[in-house]
Amino acid sequence: MTAEGHLLFSVASLVLAHQLEITPEIAQGDWLHMLPGVLLASLLPDIDHPSSTLGRLFRFISIPIARLCGHRGFTHSLLALLVGVTLFQTEIPSNWPIPTDFVHAMVIGYISHLIADMLTPAGIPLLWPLRIRFCIPILRGKERKKAERFIAVLVVVIAIILPQHINFSFARYFDSLQFNKIQFDKLPIDKLQNLYK
Ligand SMILES: [Zn+2]
């Protein structure tokens, strides 16, 4: 997929994720944080190609990755996504001024890139280092660019017309999971400590 296609598809995916309230941060996030995050991450997996948009800017990163893993290798796998998410959660010092909605939008952007590449005949090695490639090759032929734009618009239209009553709220789901934790937090800890003295 072209860089333009990835950028369009990532914004469309963010609008959809926002409507679906994938996380509270995405649902209530600041678009001035989320848009740069999603756009940046939508180009990030192609850092494994020295002539891609980011690859040209950061050749000192793209050339070694291309030599080690090849294009559409590690950076196009679930493992890369997992490493990214884990790094974001563990390596960022708490005093860094990186907003959480920016980070969550980056994850959306990265996933949107993987899905978009999966729509091309070459597919992606989701289970890298296993070589099995996953693809639903609907973007092919000369009309590919038009199809990329059409899909991006389609995703935005789906997001906009998505009726609120079928809007499955991940946020509310996670809130219900945390119900017991909140109750536990409210327990009179002082009294409990006295009990065990
Ligand atoms: Zn790619």
121-141, pLDDT tens digit by residue? 989 999 988 889 998 888 887
Q: How confident is the model at residue 45 (pLDDT cuts 50, 70, 90)?
A: very high
Residue of 165 and 159 predicted with greater confidence = 159
What pLDDT score does 181 carry? 52
What pLDDT score does 117 carry? 93
Examine the pLDDT at 182 and tell me if it is beyond 70: no
How many separate domains does the chain show? 1
Cβ 157 vs Cβ 147: under 8 Å: no
| Gap from CA of 136 to ligand 1 centroid (Å) | 15
| Gap from CA of 107 to ligand 1 centroid (Å) | 15
Q: What is the pTM of this model?
A: 0.77
**Domain range for 114:** 3-195
| Gap from CA of 117 to ligand 1 centroid (Å) | 6
Q: Judge residue 115's burial from the number of C-beta atoms within 10 Å of its C-beta, 0-12 exposed, 13-18 middle, 19 or more buried.
A: middle
Helical H segments across 21-177, by residue range: 24-28, 31-43, 53-57, 59-69, 78-90, 100-118, 144-161, 170-177
| Gap from CA of 109 to ligand 1 centroid (Å) | 12
| Gap from CA of 184 to ligand 1 centroid (Å) | 45
What residues flank ion ligand 1 with Cβ within 5 A?
45-46, 117
